[in-house]
Amino acid sequence: MGTAMKLSPATDNQKALISRLEKEAGTSINLCYQCGKCTAGCPAAFAMDYPPRQVIRLLQLGLVDEALGSESVWICASCETCSSRCPRGVDIASLMDAIRREALLQNRVTDKKVAAFNKAFLSGVKRFGRTYEAGLLLQYNTATGQYLKDAELGLPMFLRGKVGILPEKIKGRDAIKKIFARAQDKGGE
Amino acid sequence: MKLAYYPGCSLDGSGVEYGLSTRRTAAILGIELEEIEDWNCCGATSGHNTDKILSLALPARNLAIAEKTGLDVLAPCAACYNRFRTTEHAVRHDQKLRERIEDIIEMNYTASQETLSVPDLLANKVGIEKIKDKVARPLVGMKAACYYGCLLVRPFEHTGFDDTEDPQSMDQVVQALGAKTVDWAFKTECCGAALATSRPDVGTRMIYEVLRNAREAGAECIVTACPLCMMNLDMRQKAAEKAYKEVFNIPVYYITELLAIACGDSPSTVGTNRHFVEAVKYIENLPDEPEPEKIPVKPAVSKEDPAKAAATKVEPKDSADNSESAEKVPASAVSGEDEGDAIQKKVDAFIKAFSKNPDKMAAKLIEDPERAGVLAEIITGDDKKIAKLAELIATDKDKATKAAEAFVTGEMKKRNK
């Protein structure tokens, strides 16, 4: 921010992408009149490059590439304070979700750690049907090269009986694998 | 009452106390829980961050299994609860989406039943009066900040059982258990969720802000109904303390732990001994309620007042009149009183001690015997200085020492002139 930006009308591709994002999110960006209430209440805005209001503004101006490449969408904790306070009823949190998913599809993730965590989480669910917390942390730490992250919490958690050594497997693992496969199939619709 | 029960992944793992205490809570209130057969993970935030359909289909499989039983669902974990409510909402309002989901899970699902959260179940379905009837050991003296976080109350269209900005259901339950709840601004603020893992620089600050706000509002503990909030506020409290160089040491409880304990369970039955921030001591030694008709006494300046103040002390042994016991009184009074009252008591006791035994008290503040002697001379008969020192020593001995040293230094300067 702070640098001047030359605006040109959005291309048809960009326009199509923006309306797809709106449809996914079930909301309309043109309702937003930039009052900033979303940003005022956002508990993570302090760490964002474009706070929520500006993410919407980027989309209004057709700057969808900037929105997809923003760090903000990966800092957003999905707390939904913005959506619940918006006087115009814009579902900003849902829009953030849609942008995240689009960034994943386009392989344009700015925060590899969050994406690595999500991937590790879901791969456990796909395999066992449930979250495997110990395996999740191991896989996440390995994927991000932070081998000792939270290691000081591992043993105390184990001693308190708060982490299982082995994954809990459900009987319907095949059904879960099918759900994953079919959701992916239809995801590109 | 009978409910389908969805424990979710964390209630068997990091949120084990929540699982134990939810089952105890149900047993105490006569609610039968039937665990959903072969349930799967709801996908949590990772699910909706990655794929919208997947994030609806994973909860839908559980809900469809539960729907066959015709029971409403209890999902204690706030994240699971939120995903379930979102799925129900989507299925009810979007026919095409419903068909797609049914297709993916290969089961019929019409969202005919309802998913309940623990606060909703307790405050609205069981009811406050019934909870009051079950309380055997009221949590009198507890000062709690009820922390709702995000997922229980937002978005309103999906959850809808309580206010999104100033919810009350947990407050009502905790009050019914005999505790006091504080009004505070961070009730529904976000704890940072998984950011504590993926972006500790961001997440730790969010945790810190919640803890700080609770303490500033006068809370001595935090009550939650979300395993992720618990993990962040309890397990990561030390990291937040370290990062912001501030000690909180504030215990965090699941609302179900409080209910079970207030209804007679021992803290270890419901896993309270497994917290990271020690939580058993506070609940087992709750400060007594302040005396109902106590009139606050201002720091006394005349010699008669301390005597009057001393007469209002709680325990009979307090009437012993040497400075040693006068010093012990406040220590026991702290745990026995509302904080403001306790400090007032301490101040009164110290005023008495300073008036009766200036030498002894001066020696406690200043090591150097010569300077301590000077201090004793200065304060003898000077009620203002005594009141000042008594007030300081009651709250912070170091500050009292500093003030005493300043009195002596000032006096020495005067004398040297």
pLDDT by position in tens, chain A (length 189): 567 877 888 899 999 999 999 999 999 999 999 999 999 999 999 999 999 999 999 999 999 999 999 999 999 999 999 999 999 999 999 999 999 999 999 999 888 888 888 898 999 999 999 988 778 878 888 888 887 777 778 888 888 888 877 888 999 999 999 999 999 885 444
- Terminus-to-terminus CA distance in chain A, angstroms? 35
- Judged by CB atoms closer than 8 Å, whether chains meet at B51 and A97 is answered as no
The full set of domain ranges for chain A reads 12-105, 112-187
Q: Which residue did the predictor score with more confidence, B217 or B403?
A: B217
What is the spatial distance between Cα B328 and Cα B311, in angstroms, rounded to a whole number?
16
Give the nearest partner residue to B49 out of A44, A100, A168, using CB atoms.
Answer: A100
What is the spatial distance between Cα A56 and Cα A33, in angstroms, rounded to a whole number?
10
What is the spatial distance between Cα A81 and Cα A38, in angstroms, rounded to a whole number?
7
Which single residue is written with the structure tokens 């004793």? B376
Give the nearest partner residue to A80 out of B50, B154, B205, using CB atoms.
Answer: B154
Q: Are B180 and B142 in contact (CB under 8 A)?
A: yes
pLDDT band at B13 (very low <50, low <70, confident <90, very high): confident
Q: Are B257 and B271 in contact (CB under 8 A)?
A: yes
For residue B145, give the 3-state DSSP assignment. Answer: strand
Whether B198 contacts chain A with CB within 8 A: yes
Domain with CATH 1.20.1050.140 in chain B: 2-116
Q: How far is B79 from chain A (nearest CA, A)?
A: 11
Q: Are B271 and B17 in contact (CB under 8 A)?
A: yes
What is the spatial distance between Cα B415 and Cα B417, in angstroms, rounded to a whole number?
5
Best-predicted range by mean pLDDT among A3-7, B168-172, B372-376?
Answer: B168-172
Its pTM stands at: 0.77
A101-130 residues touching B, CB cutoff 8 A: 101, 104, 111, 113-114, 117-119, 121-122, 125, 129-130
pLDDT band at B71 (very low <50, low <70, confident <90, very high): very high
- Can you tell me the ipTM of this complex? 0.92
Whether A75 contacts chain B with CB within 8 A: yes
What is the spatial distance between Cα B66 and Cα B110, in angstroms, rounded to a whole number?
11
Q: With contacts defined as CB-CB under 8 Å, which chain A residues touch B199?
A: 47, 75, 111, 113-114
Q: What is the pLDDT of residue A10?
A: 87
HEC readout, chain A? CCCCCCCCCCCHHHHHHHHHHHHHHCCCHHHCCCCCHHHHHCCCHHHCCCCHHHHHHHHHCCCHHHHHCCCHHHHCCCCCHHHHHCCCCCCHHHHHHHHHHHHHHCCCCCCHHHHHHHHHHHHHHHHHCCCCHHHHHHHHHHHHCCCCCCHHHHHHHHHCCCCCCCCCCCCCHHHHHHHHHHHHHHHCC
- Average pLDDT of the residues of chain B: 87
pLDDT tens per residue across span B221-268: 999 999 999 999 999 999 999 999 999 999 999 999 999 999 999 999
Q: Are B289 and B335 in contact (CB under 8 A)?
A: no
Would you say domain A12-105 falls under CATH 1.20.1050.10?
no
- Judged by CB atoms closer than 8 Å, whether chains meet at B49 and A97 is answered as yes
CA pseudo-torsion sign B223, B228, B233, B238? positive
Whether B38 contacts chain A with CB within 8 A: yes
Q: Which residue did the predictor score with more confidence, B334 or A44?
A: A44
Residue B205 scores a pLDDT above 90? yes
B145-174 residues touching A, CB cutoff 8 A: 149-150, 154-156, 164
How wide is the angle at C-alpha B153 spanned by C-alphas B237 and B80, nearest 5°? 75
- Judged by CB atoms closer than 8 Å, whether chains meet at B190 and A43 is answered as yes
Lowest mean pLDDT among B25-34, B177-186, B208-217, B296-305: B296-305
pLDDT band at B5 (very low <50, low <70, confident <90, very high): very high
Q: With contacts defined as CB-CB under 8 Å, which chain A residues touch B52?
A: 24, 97-98, 101, 187
Whether B14 contacts chain A with CB within 8 A: yes
Q: How far is B320 from chain A (nearest CA, A)?
A: 46
What is the spatial distance between Cα A129 and Cα A172, in angstroms, rounded to a whole number?
7
Could you tell me which CATH number the domain at B2-116 has? 1.20.1050.140
Q: Are A85 and A38 in contact (CB under 8 A)?
A: yes
- Residue B291 to residues B288, B314, B316, B342, Cα–Cα distance (Å): 9, 9, 15, 11
Task: Give me the amino acid identity at B265.
Answer: D
For residue B181, give the 3-state DSSP assignment. Answer: strand
pLDDT band at B323 (very low <50, low <70, confident <90, very high): very low
Q: With contacts defined as CB-CB under 8 Å, which chain B residues touch A51?
A: none
Lowest mean pLDDT among A34-48, B81-95, B386-400: B386-400
Which single residue is written with the structure tokens 């009987």? A171
Give the nearest partner residue to B189 out of A43, A84, A183, using CB atoms.
Answer: A43
Q: How many CB pairs under 8 A join A and B?
A: 171
Domain with CATH 3.40.50.11810 in chain B: 126-284
What is the spatial distance between Cα A49 and Cα A29, in angstroms, rounded to a whole number?
19
Site from B37, B39, B51, B151 to mutate, A interface, most A CB atoms within 10 angstroms: B51
Give the nearest partner residue to A183 out of B53, B192, B199, using CB atoms.
Answer: B53
Q: What is the pLDDT of residue B288?
A: 78
Q: With contacts defined as CB-CB under 8 Å, which chain B residues touch A133?
A: 9-10, 13-14
| % of chain B beyond a pLDDT of 70 | 87
Which fold, B126-284?
A: Rossmann fold (3.40.50)
What is the spatial distance between Cα A154 and Cα B256, in angstroms, rounded to a whole number?
25
Q: What is the pLDDT of residue B130?
A: 97
- Judged by CB atoms closer than 8 Å, whether chains meet at A44 and B51 is answered as no
- Judged by CB atoms closer than 8 Å, whether chains meet at B150 and A79 is answered as yes
Q: What is the pLDDT of residue B92?
A: 97
pLDDT band at B103 (very low <50, low <70, confident <90, very high): very high
Whether B181 contacts chain A with CB within 8 A: no
Q: What is the pLDDT of residue B293?
A: 53
Which single residue is written with the structure tokens 């134990």? B20
What is the spatial distance between Cα B417 and Cα B413, in angstroms, rounded to a whole number?
6
Q: How are strands ordered across the β-sheet holding B143-147? A: B180-181, B143-147, B221-224, B252-254
What is the spatial distance between Cα B111 and Cα B91, in angstroms, rounded to a whole number?
6
Closest residue in A to B193 (Cα–Cα): A77
- Terminus-to-terminus CA distance in chain B, angstroms? 85
pLDDT band at B303 (very low <50, low <70, confident <90, very high): very low
What is the spatial distance between Cα B55 and Cα A179, in angstroms, rounded to a whole number?
10
Tell me the sheet residues that pair with B366.
none
Whether A81 contacts chain B with CB within 8 A: yes
